[in-house]
Amino acid sequence: MIRSFRSFIVTAAMVFSAGLLLAQDITREPLFRVADELLPGILGMRSAEGKVFVANSSGRFVRFDLETGEAFSGRTGGEKMVDFDIVLGQMIFLDENGRLGGHILPGWPDRSWDACRVEACDEGVLMTGGDKALFLGRTATQAVEIDQVDFAMPVPNGFFWSMQIRPEGNWGADLYDCLGNLMSKIYNFSPEFVPAGIELGPPGSEGELLVSSVENGNRKLAFIGNNGRMFWKIDGPEKISPRDVAFDNQGNLLVLEMKGRELWLNRWKMVQPEG
């Protein structure tokens, strides 16, 4: 059974694993107003190679160049999409029937998948949202089924992040290989971390983990390195689409936010105070 795919700030707090250490400023830079025709069924955005794709469930999209400011609008076809990602500058997506479309490889099976999320990586695609996670390698003719993975985000070299409640009762974030084998336990959240609405990703430039969750009724974004350190934790934006955050090439957050009735792509720059 496929599960349902739902689930300014000026100052924020920087958090390390040892606790709250210092405050930092966040500046918000407006980049691009998203056309109103994309608002119905908005899925969100993906960022790759200096370009941002914003798409809705009907397959309409706009590609915005972060360097030149140029925008190109298009449409994938007649399929209704439930999620998408970017591979080599092209979209790959899951439609409402669980079929992959767009930039798919010729050896992949032509079938429906029990999934509603798709994540592209250098080794293939990872699909989640069903009873099992499904990994399709670049040269695969069938998917690897991975049990007991509710949250997954791939990173380079065939690994993926996942989160789960440990036997001790607290949440943890760990790295697995593409076959579902635990490679390393990375981060232990405190027992006070009782989140709702967990979403993982997108990854940072070095494969860091971005966690979006709701804590005590407030959305939070946490950024965790594979060295077991939480680099920062901030108040997140109001949730308006399944994929509303990304990173640019400099590691700044890209955020989709409403300004009145307008949808804007903004860049959040975090600046640590001196001293």
> Is 5 a domain residue?
no
- Read off the pLDDT band of 174 (50, 70, 90): very high
> How far, in whole angstroms, is CA 127 from its chain's centroid?
13
Q: Please say if the pLDDT value at position 3 is more than 60.
A: no
Rounded to whole angstroms, how far apart are CA atoms 185 and 206?
17
Q: Please say if the pLDDT value at position 10 is more than 50.
A: no
Average pLDDT over every residue of 23-45:
91
> Is 3 a domain residue?
no
Average pLDDT over every residue of 158-184:
95
> Is 32 a domain residue?
yes
Average pLDDT over every residue of 189-207:
94
Q: Please say if the pLDDT value at position 19 is more than 70.
A: no
User: Across the beta sheet with 11-16, what order do the strands follow?
Assistant: 11-16, 19-34, 262-271, 253-259, 245-247
> Is 1 a domain residue?
no
* Mean of the per-residue pLDDT values of the chain: 89
Q: Please say if the pLDDT value at position 122 is more than 50.
A: yes
Q: Please say if the pLDDT value at position 15 is more than 60.
A: no
Q: What is the pLDDT of residue 102?
A: 94
Residues 83-108 pLDDT 10s: 999 998 999 999 999 999 999 999 99
Residues 46-70 pLDDT 10s: 999 999 999 999 999 999 999 999 9
Q: Domain holding 262: CATH number?
A: 2.120.10.30
State pTM to two decimals. 0.88
Domain carrying residue 93: 11-271
Instruction: For the chain, give the secondary structure using H, E and C.
Output: CCCCCCCCCCEEEEEECCEEEEEEEEEEEEEEEECHHHCCCEEEEEEECCEEEEEECCCEEEEEECCCCCEEEEECCCCCEEEEEEECCEEEEEECCCEEEECCCCCCCCCECCCCEEEEECCEEEEECCCCEEEEECCCCCCEEECCCCCCEEECCCEEEEEEECCCCCEEEEEEECCCCEEEEEEECCCCCCCEEEEECCCCCCCCEEEEEEECCEEEEEEECCCCCEEEEEECCCCCCCECEEECCCCCEEEEEEECCEEEEEEEEEECCCC
> Is 248 a domain residue?
yes
Q: Please say if the pLDDT value at position 262 is more than 80.
A: yes
Q: Please tell me the total count of domains within the chain.
A: 1
Q: What is the pLDDT of residue 77?
A: 82
